[in-house]
Structure 1
């Protein structure tokens, strides 16, 4: 099986300027390979550095050490640690998706437009983009009455489902999931599971962090536990 992402000695240290330049380690010496079509789940206590790992891959945070070799359709093997901003933006548009617990969108953009914009960036026609967006919103059980509403009025669960729809509609090569079932009811969790299974079948690789271990065990192929800065493989499902 081909490796999609190879992580070697990943490090992220934060400089706390308000604490006179004190250094805080977010993650240190993190190494693993993610294969094409594989889903790796990461667990650990709050503050252990799970989200830091995802954000360094997505380059929300700039890593301070190590290598992240991603096998891109656009650029071939590329180190996400040293890639320039133009390359990172291009990868986010077409190949790497990120689902956060928090929704960050323009204030006066409707839910339908949030999902459509992602599809339009991929060069899809307006008619096809609208059709795909509506299917994805329906899959995640967002009521049709909300499609033309502004997401700032949504509940926490509705915002998360919109985030999932926005990230998954482009069927990225790599999808990063930060607590993808937080605040979701059982029916919504089932929708997430079905979409994850569809994406895996189509070749999407995923890394997710979880507190919901029961859900995680139904979708991941491998389970790593982060503790004291070390990432240990615990379970192969």
Structure 2
């Protein structure tokens, strides 16, 4: 049984989770239920067809990222707008950027977890990015090839673009909403550092080399806490952290929101 201990704990505490959820406002409950409904329906499809051969193309990976993380971005946007009425006029823009936010974080997780996923006989990489003749099921043999490196660079570039949109999302949150801003910015900062690790060590069959050190996590949290209220400082910090990463522009599918 590959069920994680944390997942078992969640099931054990399900009744408590439901009770807490029922204490929320009707609109908050609606956002959560919508998110869970879409996530459960979508994940069921992907779990049934998962394999070491990966996903077929970028469109399928985008669909996967949406049902795993994009729906969470939409839910959080609804909750943030409930918490901060000043955001209501920005809701359409935020909902669009929320898809990029989720996509950027989930793509980063996919790239970080390539080797751990393989141990679970799973791969979420898109086959088409690596070429028609590249067999993701043989990644243990092919991870040092030019084809793999080229595909990895493209995926890093796409994730980088989505994280730039995620930064724009965070900048739309009023600085007075310090908790919400910091919550978003911590995730973005750690994702950028992870992409740097993937670019440096991605052709090594080692999950350990892709982990962010505690020192880096502490530094990221500290820098965000110092700069979260300044859009200019955040942009400069992001540019410094992402320097050298490839950038491939891809817009999220606004029709989902």
TM-score, normalised with respect to structure 1? 0.29
Structure possessing the higher radius of gyration over alpha carbons: 2
Larger % of strand: which? 1
Looking at both structures, which has the greater relative contact order when contacts are Cα pairs under 8 Å and sequence separation is at least 6?
A: 1
TM-score, normalised with respect to structure 2? 0.28
